[in-house]
Amino acid sequence: MSIEVVHHPLVKHILTRLRDLTTEPAQFRALARQLTLLLAVEATRDLPLREQQVQTPLELAQGYALAQPIVAVPILRAGLGMLEAITELFTEVRVGYIGLERDEATAVARAYYCKLPPIGDSRVLLLDPMLATGGSAAQAIEVLLRAGARDIVHICVVAAPEGVRLLNERFPQVRIVAASLDRGLNDRKFILPGLGDFGDRLYGTGTH
């Protein structure tokens, strides 16, 4: 099973606070942003560079600039909780949106919105905090591939083995970067131990 789990101590610390039922929405949003920053660093560690000279206050210095553009695509609505960290880290990022809504009875997502910038040779960061069955991620990846994406990294907070297997089988070229590979899914297709409904906890809607 191919997934890159980030084992940094700070990742483990933040994830534990996100899992905690008592964490309030305002703190949950701040923690989600912090964790996304750490995951994004891992998801972009292999970005190509080009040499660039800059003038320091004392002399010319040899430096580097990113040589591949970044496109961030959150899956609405929970993925929005990860977007601010990406736009802060990559100031020239282009942003697209894919709207998928999960039917609680069938656990199947339906698409209701899609708006993408030009993708070209960009590194596409697909932002969706919970990789459960993999159905929503697979739909989003298909949309991105049809739009011309060739370099996709799926960034999630927690993943279930069922979702990882699905993406590995259907899209072996897509990297998965996560803070945790959890135990599995319950009969409602929620991740265990998980952290509840990410969108509800992010925005204070529904119940945990």
Catalytic residues: 102, 106, 197, 200
Using alpha carbons, select from 89, 163, 99, 158 the residue that is nearest to residue 123.
89
Give SS3 for 59.
coil
H or E element at residue 144: helix 135-146
Do residues 151 and 122 make contact, with C-beta atoms less than 8 angstroms apart? yes
H or E element at residue 25: helix 25-43
- For residues 88 and 167, give the distance between their C-alpha atoms in angstroms, rounded to a whole number: 28
Using alpha carbons, select from 118, 119, 114, 66 the residue that is nearest to residue 91.
66
Do residues 196 and 208 make contact, with C-beta atoms less than 8 angstroms apart? yes
Cis peptide bond upstream of 33, omega within 30: no
- For residues 25 and 46, give the distance between their C-alpha atoms in angstroms, rounded to a whole number: 33
